[in-house]
Structure 1
């Protein structure tokens, strides 16, 4: 078998494997290099298994409030941590196998090993230096592995890993990253979560549902700092009602380790320090691109703040070399990586009308309880840009479906340009908003104004009706409030 390809992709996460499939669809001889397991972090240790954990937490929350629905459970509802984790890992295993099937279906060669750029258009694949994490998904013993491979186009899609703060480095026992937090061998009684981005808040929400005493420490004034302040504030109140303790404008300055516990020194902006002793600490202070040991320096690839610098089509400063996904910079989201990869490969293939990605139209979702979702400008950013705006709001408490579900705490907020009616941003907090946000993403991509949204018929009774009511509210025409 020839070791020469049209396209080689390094990394099989969402960006990598989707790009490989699109490459094969376009008739390009394609290979993908993977050092550990198909699907990358998202499928095996991120997006998918965390949602499985959160689903277990959601079921437990509903069971614990069964009386509110007129139901009585005979016996006590408890969570078996081993079974909860086993279900989560099983979901990942199923999808992992699915990616392997897609590679075969699309005649994409999978090269097992760790790739390094040796010169333009060439990689050397060495032994797999990382162990196979999932025993149920052993690395196939195929013919493709160590060796030298060439390609006209090489795409780096190596993803990212948890960021560590100096002096508070994760140790796998007392200080966890999302790897350990996703697969605990016991349920701690108390937990400190350092960082309140999507990863931190999702784990805080999960462990609180499991009955753990959780304290979240966030450096910024608001949790989920990238979100609209009004939405973030609402979410914080709901999380605190569930029993989470949240400390903002504070940092964990030091962690003392005991035999089976930690003591976090939490310093607030006024210089005061309090200590919190807990069974474990989760470090969720962001992620950083996997740019090491790739040979980037040898080729003179330009990087910035730990990520590979690219143009709007994934091209680096080195001809024939591209980068997509987390390793190419924020927002570090799986759906961004997938779309970025498709843009990159379609440009390589010479397709007409390939447009660079508009990062302002990338939705963000946080799957805590309550869920948070958004796209576009926040109210503060819109004002900072000097825009004259109209803002609409609608409460879950006025929506029949939300009340029937027993999920009447939430809101939808829309932001329009006052002069043109352009939808600038949409922000949501409440039940299933991660499934609703795409309606506004589509609207923004179609350059929809308030007029089209007002004339759109939304089904009744649904949560989606609140989207239209929020638009109507922005223009003083709200009907059901």
Structure 2
């Protein structure tokens, strides 16, 4: 027996699912979103939003030293991290309520409960406010997201061995923390904890921090993290984890066989994320997965007609904004929207690390350009040549453009420095609009602004940077 019928049933109310539902409503489809927890998903509740609230407060706390340079005396004896935590939870709550408002505004039903596909057009929902019900839909969109990936021997207990959710739940700061993994998540929490005075050590198996970013970016970040007092070991493999009453200890082994050990009060394991594709009824329907990720075509369709999947549950970059865009593409295809585009070009996906300095990037790094055999060149303009950056004491950083040697077509952009996560979009817009560096170089930029660094880098590609 069918209890409710729709044109589209979305499983998951994260940034992929709720955006897809709203876009579907705009295109005239009657849509519902099924969510077993809270609207906003991991991003809104235990990821993007609350973590950025922590990062903002950590940055303010770290600026105390600048106030002292002015002769001010700051008494931090009353500092209470639980109040920092409360602000992050307030941000998460506001985000979730905002999603609920948007769904209601667009006449989208939010159905609580756990979803399981019983056919390509029916979803069984259990454990929700309305009891067990069956939802029928012409189209189903799976947007169930991901969770922190566990590795053997480092299983989460959220007391001593933390996931990203566990560290966001802390109301007291640990005295010391080991972070396993130097990707975006590990680096952001290292920054937060380091700013608040926690003794932080990062352990990374690859040869440098942020190993997926351009090497020049990593070099800048390593220098800045050293200034924060954050220690790091790169090119090492974490071995055994032991728990004691006072904390944890882990063994490490370098590539030349040298062994060391580390002790800390807690450890954060930040080595990637795993897709939430279990218990959805995929096997019964014959929907293929690979390493847990659902297989889809260029319009995010699965093997079953009418069933789509987007976001962290498929093998695309695990980023909230990617999930949102994939949701838009999927529902536009469902609706037969004229001019609907296909799968996202991976070279046009911006990545961001929200530390200080921050990182914004897209397209191939220099290493990747070499591996692809591209006929490329690059130009880097230092933040030290940007007047505004020097005026506000943010002179550490680089704007880097990777381009085709002959045509000067923009291939990639990599920015590390103040406001990098915002600035990188100017280079990306130029690439997407098929503009050349000379178009950016000759566009007037207000002075003094950080964005002048983008202009100067573009001028550098053309051989006439001014402030260097």
Q: Which TM bucket (shorter chain)?
A: over 0.9
Equivalent residue for 2:374?
387
SS at match of 2:118: strand
Taking the aligned partners of 2:445 and 2:330, their CA distance within structure 1 comes to 36
Equivalent residue for 1:372?
359
Equivalent residue for 1:93?
93
Taking the aligned partners of 2:71 and 2:420, their CA distance within structure 1 comes to 26
SS at match of 1:391: strand
Equivalent residue for 1:464?
451
Taking the aligned partners of 1:191 and 1:102, their CA distance within structure 2 comes to 39
Q: Structure 2 vs 1, CA of residues 74 and 303 (structure 1 numbering), >3 Å: closer, same or farther?
A: closer
Per-residue deviation, 1:169 = 0.6
**Is residue 280 from structure 1 mapped to residue 266 from structure 2 by the alignment?**
yes
SS at match of 2:456: helix
| Residues 92-131 of structure 1 aligned to structure 2 (within 5 Å) | 92-127=92-127
TM-score, structure 1 length as denominator? 0.95
SS at match of 1:65: helix
**Is residue 257 from structure 1 mapped to residue 258 from structure 2 by the alignment?**
no
1:181 alignment partner, one of 163, 167, 174? 167
User: Residues 298-345 of structure 1: CA distance to partner in whole angstroms, max 9, x if unpaired?
Assistant: 001011122111112110111111000000123000000000000000
Instruction: Tell whether the 8 Å contact from 2:15 to 2:320 is kept in structure 1 after alignment.
Output: yes
Q: Structure 2 vs 1, CA of residues 78 and 205 (structure 1 numbering), >3 Å: closer, same or farther?
A: farther
**Is residue 52 from structure 1 mapped to residue 38 from structure 2 by the alignment?**
no
Equivalent residue for 2:139?
153
Bigger mean CA offset, 93-102 vs 384-393: 384-393
Per-residue deviation, 1:349 = 0.3
User: Residues 260-291 of structure 1: CA distance to partner in whole angstroms, max 9, x if unpaired?
Assistant: 30001112112222111100000001001000
Per-residue deviation, 1:438 = 1.1
2:430 alignment partner, one of 433, 443, 454? 443
Taking the aligned partners of 2:6 and 2:297, their CA distance within structure 1 comes to 24
Taking the aligned partners of 2:462 and 2:275, their CA distance within structure 1 comes to 43
Per-residue deviation, 1:145 = 4.9
Taking the aligned partners of 1:456 and 1:335, their CA distance within structure 2 comes to 28
| Residues 8-23 of structure 1 aligned to structure 2 (within 5 Å) | 8-23=9-24
Taking the aligned partners of 1:212 and 1:147, their CA distance within structure 2 comes to 48
Bigger mean CA offset, 348-357 vs 332-341: 348-357
**Is residue 210 from structure 1 mapped to residue 196 from structure 2 by the alignment?**
yes
Equivalent residue for 1:131?
none
Per-residue deviation, 1:115 = 0.1
**Is residue 270 from structure 1 mapped to residue 253 from structure 2 by the alignment?**
no
SS at match of 2:414: strand
- Give the RMSD, CA atoms, in angstroms: 1.4
SS at match of 2:252: strand
SS at match of 2:445: coil
SS at match of 2:83: helix
Aligned length: 466
**Is residue 171 from structure 1 mapped to residue 157 from structure 2 by the alignment?**
yes
Taking the aligned partners of 1:10 and 1:318, their CA distance within structure 2 comes to 16
Per-residue deviation, 1:401 = 0.6
Per-residue deviation, 1:175 = 0.2
Per-residue deviation, 1:442 = 1.1
Runs of 5+ in structure 2 lacking a partner?
Answer: none
Instruction: Tell whether the 8 Å contact from 1:34 to 1:111 is kept in structure 2 after alignment.
Output: yes
SS at match of 2:63: helix
User: Residues 346-374 of structure 1: CA distance to partner in whole angstroms, max 9, x if unpaired?
Assistant: 01100121112111100000012221110
Runs of 5+ in structure 1 lacking a partner?
Answer: 129-140
Instruction: Tell whether the 8 Å contact from 1:112 to 1:146 is kept in structure 2 after alignment.
Output: no
